[in-house]
Amino acid sequence: MGKVRDAMTDNPRKVDMTTPVAEAAKLMATEDVGSLPVTDGDRLVGIVTDRDIVTRVVAEGKDAQTATVGEIASKDLVTVDPQQDLDKALRLMAQHQVRRLPVVEEDGRLVGILAQADVAREGEDSKTGQLVERISD
């Protein structure tokens, strides 16, 4: 099995921590994604999900035009290095029940996103299939 760099999506869509929540929600709808990396410059500082928007903005009656993604983003992140083996990335996905991992250099710079589908395309063996199934459960 290859390295994360071989399977990841380079230069993923991201939002700056000062981006209004409403703008991030529109980008999610346009891009048909449920989460976006949140950066401060090039450094990854969080992930904002559609669930974050619902539970931390809508449910609390906050204004999506003035609240920023930096205020509501999940900051307890599971990330992977571009040089890590894909099987290790798959194990992280299964362990943490996530379908996407931000790919981050040692200095914290976001360089890509590794999705479950990316790994499934790259991996050919039955082990890959089994791990992908565990993530999906």
pTM, 2 dp = 0.85
State the pLDDT at residue 27: 97
- How many folded domains does the chain comprise? 1
The whole-chain average pLDDT of the chain stands at 90
State the pLDDT at residue 121: 77
For the chain, give the DSSP string: --BHHHHSEES---EETTSBHHHHHHHHHHHT-SEEEEEETTEEEEEEEHHHHIIIIITTT--TTTSBHHHH-B-----B-TTSBHHHHHHHHHHHT-SEEEEE-TTSBEEEEEEHHHHHHH--SHHHHHHHHHHH-
State the pLDDT at residue 130: 57
Q: Does the structure show a pLDDT above 50 at 49? A: yes
* Of 76 and 119, more confident: 76
79: domain CATH number is: 3.10.580.10
Residue-wise pLDDT for 24-44, tens only, equals: 999 999 999 999 999 999 999
Q: State which residues form the domain around 63.
A: 4-136
